[in-house]
Every structure is written in structure tokens, then in C-alpha cells.
Copies of this chain bind each other. A is one copy, B any other.
Amino acid sequence: MCGVLREISPRVRSIKPLQSSVVALRAGQIEEELTQGVKKSFRQLINLIWGDPQSAGIKPLTFVRQVLSACLYPQLLDNDRLPADARQRAKALLSECQGGSLGSYTDLPGIPQVVREISDFITRRDGGVPSYPENILLAPGSQWALQNILNLLVHGGGGAGGGDGAVRSGVLTPVPTHVTSIMSLMGLGGVSVPYYLSEEQGWKVEVEELNRALEAAKPMCNPVAIYIINPGNPSGHVQSRKSIQDVIRFASEKRLFLLADEVYQDCIYKENIEFVSYKRVLAEMGPPFSNTVELASFHSTSKGFLGECGLRGGYVELVNMDPAVMKHVFTIFSKDNTPTPSQIALSVMANPPQPGDPSYSLYAVETQQIRTTVTGNVRRVHEVLSSLPGVSSQPVEGGAFAFPRLNLPSKAIRTAKELKMEPDTFYCLRLLENTGACIAPGSEYGQKDGTYHIRFCITAKRDKIEDLLTRLVAFHTQFMDEFS
């Protein structure tokens, strides 16, 4: 490597590129080849590698977009093509923007009305457990918010900016889990301490395993926090109240900061299962837990009914933070403003049209349609996967992904290893080459040694799911034949 930039910061060098790039990158090349007229056995790719509902044909909610367009182009505020409540919301939001424009910087932590709406939303969601606007910070996506909190928690080796010789900070992270959070952690010089979810028990979090992970980590790092994603990505597991209590007790006993990634809180697909927030359970447990355990809960406009990944809106609510620490939190978040369109999307997520509002019925129909579609997808995926030899699947209770396990023939595993490839990556690349279906290998999310998985998005239009399943079934049968 030549050039002035001879040495790349080890912080950055330790960040592995998104491994799904292997499959996603090849998908990009194939798309290019198709455009150039290269003949393939398929005409189009079907890409369900990311949790990106709108790219998979789910339509945006009309009210979100109406409020956004009226805020951005206020000439529409007197346009009867937009319903009165959308225009009214836009006016109210603009009245709290400097100069009445989305083009101005907003105050920290954001447009006051948006922060109030979020705190009201949380209070309603948690059955009256109070939420305070001053504990809420907005960010361009929940991952930015998480990165800011990690920045506070994580000391690099030797400690950037002082504290030489300090031990690196560790964060307990589930296996499997999506990679973005771990990239943030590694980027800060932190250590990811893996705890395994119990696949056999539907990807349950087990306290025994948390204890094992913590003890195993101690010689290497100083564990400071535990990261949990509920509902799970990619696991699809939804934690019970009891399980959340267990984790809170563990965090309290071990003095760990709780990072609760709850971005899939609206994505629940099984009857008799409900999402309960860490905040609520913590409050209900009472002292000494409710007034000591430090918690950061993250939510986002990218998931749930909105599915507005492109708008990048997220927030974090902080609980039991020392006021002296909160000052630093504000300083970090003050480094930049959350984009105003992201804030508008957060407003609608937290405060959707209510019965009696002009936009209520359309909003209700649209959200119901999405719910029906995705619940149907989950059933259909389960049905098809159950029929495939060598595939076993835990129930998808929530979240945005199916994560079935592949019992691959040993010949396939050998072939993959000869190619210096993870066996499930080999499977996904072959699937992509042969059928144009783009999904992710489990090895990118972490999995127990010797187990293999695939992940694909279920928050998609039905015909996309059918298309994927058709290609997957044909390929899988042939693959199992070839390698058995």
C-alpha cells in the first residue's frame, strides 16, 4: 500500500466488510450481466437479502408521504388533494421548525413536537409507564443512535484519548445477530462477546449461557453491556416477559448496561404472543431494578408498518442514566442534526391517524393489508420449508426474517471447504447463480459450529415470496440430489 495514507487506523482495519457482500456483490454483477444481455436460466433476480420492505414491493403508507410532501413543499398546504389531517400535521410540525422550514437545523434533540409524540407513544405502549421527552434522542436511524451510545460505553484497547493500559470493553452480543451493530462495536475498538441463542428452544435467550459467555470473556475484556435484539434478527424469536425479567436480573447482578434493540416491536406474527418492552418490564419489576438498571431502547421508522428504510429515522430512549452521563450523551448527539424528513416519519410512526381523523380509514386499511400479507408470508414460508428435506425451521414469531437451518450433505460441506467457503455461503452463491434468488448465508450472522442457515426477508409482497420459494424449492431439491 503506497500513498500518504500508509497506515489505516486499526479501528477501521478491524471492521470486516459486510460479508453478505459476497452474495450481494455477485448479485450486483449478475444484474449488470442481465442488463448487458448475458443469457441466464432466469430473467430477473429476486432479492430478499435485506430487510427492506419497500424494495420488496410493500407500498409506503400514504399518510407518511402526504405529511412529508406537504412539509417539504408548503404550497401543498392549501391543496385539496391532500387530506386535512395531513396538512394540519404538516402545519403543526413546520410551526416548530426555525423559519417554518424543514431546511433549518432543528434544536437538539429534534423538533419538539416529534419528541413529545414519541414520548407519548412510549407511555401508551407501556401501559402508562411514564416516558420523558428529555430522555429521548433522535438519530438518522437507530443504528446511529446505537453507535453513539456504544461510543460512550466502549473503551478501546489502551483507550483512545487516554487511559493507557486499560482493558478493552466488551459487549455481550447474541449469536446469531445482524452485523451492523457488531461493526459499530468493532469500529470503536470494543470486543464482541458472543452468547448463543438456543435454536432448539426457538432461539431463546438463556441465562446460563449469558453467564458462560460473561465468564469466558473476562480474561479478554471488561464486559460493560449486553446487547439484545427483540424481536430477533435474524432469529424471529420474541422474548417473553419472564425471559426479559431474567435478562434484567442478570444485567443488574453483573452490572451491565442494557442495550435493547426493539426496532421490530410492531412485527409480531403469532397469536398469543405480544411484544413487551424492556422499559415496561423494568418498571414493573420495581426497585432495586427499576431505579438502577441502565437501559437504552432503540426504535426505527425502517421496520414495522412504515418500512421507510430510505428515510433513516430512529430514536433512543434512555432510562436510569446519571445526569452527568446524560450531558455527555447530549454532547455526542449534538455533533449533528437528525435529518428533518426522518423526524417527520418518526412523528407519524409515533402518532398515526386516530379513529375519526380523515386519514384514519385508509391508514387502517393499509396497515391491515401489510399485516395480512406478512402473516400470510410467514405461514406460507413455514409450509414450504417444512416440506423440504434437510431443512428445519423454528417458528417465526416476529421480526422481518426467516432463518431456517440447513442440514447439508457432507459432500456439499467438503466441496465448500475445498473452495475455502462457508458451506451456507456456497449454498447461497449456487442458488444465486442457478436461479437468480439472492438470500444471505447464516455464517454472516454467526451460528453454532457445524450448523448452517439461510436468512431471507419476509416483509415482502406475496408474489415476491412465492417467486423466491419456487426458485428455492427447485434449487434445493437439485442441490440435495447432487451432493447426497
Q: Which residues of B contact A99 (CB under 8 A)?
A: 52, 54-58
A98 touches B158 (CB 8 A): no
| Given A3-B292, A3-B321, 15 extra CB contacts under 8 A | A2-B322, A4-B224, A4-B255, A4-B256, A5-B153, A7-B155, A8-B328, A9-B155, A15-B328, A52-B104, A56-B99, A79-B81, A102-B310, A151-B187, A156-B159
Chain A, 90-149, CB within 8 A of any chain B CB: 97-99, 101-107, 140-141, 143-144, 147
* Contact code string A185-210 (vs B, CB < 8 Å = 1, else 0): 01111000000000000000000000
A190–chain B nearest beta-carbon distance, Å:
8
A129–chain B nearest beta-carbon distance, Å:
20
A311 to B311, CA, bound (A): 11
Chain A, 285-312, CB within 8 A of any chain B CB: 292-294, 306-312
A47 to B66, CA, bound (A): 31
A325 to B308, CA, bound (A): 32
Which secondary structure dominates where chain A touches chain B? loop
A292 to B6, CA, bound (A): 12
Q: Which residues of B contact A1 (CB under 8 A)?
A: 322, 324-325
A228 to B1, CA, bound (A): 25
Q: Which residues of B contact A13 (CB under 8 A)?
A: 161-162, 328
A411 on the B face (CB < 8 A): no
A4 to B101, CA, bound (A): 41
A17 on the B face (CB < 8 A): yes
A191–chain B nearest beta-carbon distance, Å:
9
A65 touches B73 (CB 8 A): yes
**28 A-B contacts, Cβ less than 8 Å apart?**
A3-B320, A5-B257, A5-B294, A7-B155, A9-B160, A9-B169, A10-B163, A13-B161, A15-B331, A18-B334, A28-B107, A52-B105, A54-B99, A56-B99, A69-B69, A69-B72, A69-B73, A105-B309, A141-B337, A156-B159, A159-B160, A160-B189, A161-B186, A162-B189, A180-B336, A187-B332, A309-B337, A339-B339
Q: Which residues of B contact A312 (CB under 8 A)?
A: 140, 336-339
Q: Which residues of B contact A332 (CB under 8 A)?
A: 12, 15, 187
A334 to B7, CA, bound (A): 20
* Contact code string A312-330 (vs B, CB < 8 Å = 1, else 0): 1000000011101101101
A342 on the B face (CB < 8 A): yes
* Contact code string A163-194 (vs B, CB < 8 Å = 1, else 0): 11100110000000000100110111100000
B52 touches A184 (CB 8 A): no
